Structure 1
């Protein structure tokens, strides 16, 4: 994978107006949610970092959809075939797209965290926004990492399914319906607590979100687990694409 491949992917991403619209809407929603969370914290609780990052934590799902959309849109428009002529290796081409997606997602996460903190300071100047524990530092610094993982995960799902509508539907149903259902009934159905092994639940544990299930190896292993899962799905998608179009 060369810098030329990465540069071409950056140019393609920047040239799509829909990408900027999607990121803009994600930012607006994230800032609004953080503002509401800081303005109306839980009763008797001083608003702090966990409220300030409510928006970015929710936007993580949207970044997964963005990753899926970036690859499926290329198949729909046919630009992926033009890229394939310039880079006659699906592995290099798709690896470059994954790297650029991860970098853009991580940068978006960092900007949304900064935006959430700024909104918190404006909405509630008395909010406690000084990180004073390892957990609070993880809640801040872990979001760009989680965004990068989520972007690659969405890209991998989109590559496997190739359909934008189907990919978005699968990701939304999995994140909003399947994971909560399996988390609640997994032990009854499978005989063991499966909830902490589900990718979005594991990322929530990595980010130190309250009310979630704890991963067996701890939060850092939870993040590593989802990263490996995303890379595994991406590798499967690349292998499948090599079989489809050698």
Structure 2
């Protein structure tokens, strides 16, 4: 508990987490409001469409999580941390846990905020959360943000440079996974198993929004439950690799 308290204090005494948190909520809820508010009356708004801004917030969460660890390497405070806590694994796990909890909270606030605002803008549409899939589409954003934060922290530990870690994360999520589909013959098969495509399957169940509105549909062959387990497993593998590397090299 002491390590968690220390990491919480270190995280919230810098400006970047506050700014990133504010931007995450603003872009996620803002883009959802933009899509819902500009849609014509002839286009029914679904629960899935209210989460249109999910991927924009996800990108900011990755930046927040990467900065949480790379900033310490940049200013050398990570050496002080490891001197105070010789067990590097425990120290880095505490940091990861604090960042993941913040990402979880941001995801839930952003998702339910987007859904609530859509209800205000389009009261004539049925946006009630009546099914498990609809609840997952909204409440599932938090767990996906949390696991994404774990992945981003792991990349930050491995790369140790803010610009490098953020570039890798954003290029991969915003471009690389989609470009894989262009590989002849095997591209689509590989894409089905890429982590963020699988995470989208957990959130959406592979269902498109009404009229084709909303984020692209996941091509993963897994069920929603197995998709979440797969994404969590990927995050765990990344974290284990990062912790192993951190314990073997100089701070």
> Structure 1 length normalisation: TM-score?
0.91
- In structure 2, the CA distance between the partners of 1:84 and 1:47, relative to structure 1 (3 Å rule), is same
Write out per-residue CA displacement over residues 68-109 of structure 1, whole angstroms, 9 at most, x where no aligned residue: 111101111222222212211111011111111111100011
Aligned twin of 1:131: 129
Structure 1: runs of 5+ lacking an equivalent: none
Structure 2: runs of 5+ lacking an equivalent: 209-215
Instruction: Tell which deviates more after alignment, 124-133 or 218-227.
Output: 124-133
Write out per-residue CA displacement over residues 20-45 of structure 1, whole angstroms, 9 at most, x where no aligned residue: 01111221111210101211347843
Instruction: Tell which deviates more after alignment, 118-127 or 40-49.
Output: 40-49
Aligned twin of 1:39: 37
CA RMSD, Structure 1 to Structure 2 (Å) = 1.9
CA contact (8 A) 2:23 2:60 kept: no
1-structure distance, mates of 2:55, 2:137: 9
How many residues are matched?
242
> Structure 2 length normalisation: TM-score?
0.89
Aligned twin of 1:89: 87
- In structure 2, the CA distance between the partners of 1:235 and 1:41, relative to structure 1 (3 Å rule), is same
Matches for 1:1-246 after TM superposition, within 5 Å: 3-41=1-39, 44-182=42-180, 184-186=181-183, 188=184, 190=186, 193-208=189-204, 210=208, 211-245=216-250
Secondary structure, in 3 states, of the residue corresponding to 1:207? helix
1-structure distance, mates of 2:145, 2:247: 27
CA contact (8 A) 1:38 1:120 kept: yes
